[in-house]
Amino acid sequence: MGSWAGLMTRDDVTSAHSGPQPRRYEIWVRGHLGETMRSAFPALRARPRGADTVLTGALPDQAALYGVLAEIEALGLELLEVRRLLARDEDEPGGGDDH
């Protein structure tokens, strides 16, 4: 096998056979978003976290993630962090970390 074989995960093998699986993401942006700004992200739940906003939700593939990131840029929002959530992190913004 090639040297990259050890880097593949079970998810990589599964998704290669059944298509990409939706992934949950947590996306932090600077400031609080008003209703109009939140409406630009219908697939994501927006919650204030301190002085910032956390957008959380499932996206079907990387193209959808890039679309959200492009919308953040187009709206002039400051992107602070993008995190793919693991199953244990999905219910808690920040994955238990203090931000």
- Determine the 3-state secondary structure of 88 from DSSP: helix
Query: Whole-model pTM above 0.85?
Result: no
pLDDT values of the chain reduced to their tens digit, one per residue, 99 residues: 444 444 445 555 444 556 678 999 999 999 999 999 999 999 999 999 999 999 999 999 999 999 999 999 999 999 999 999 986 665 555 554 444
Using a 10 angstrom Cβ sphere, with 0-12 exposed, 13-18 middle and 19 or more buried, the burial of residue 83 is middle
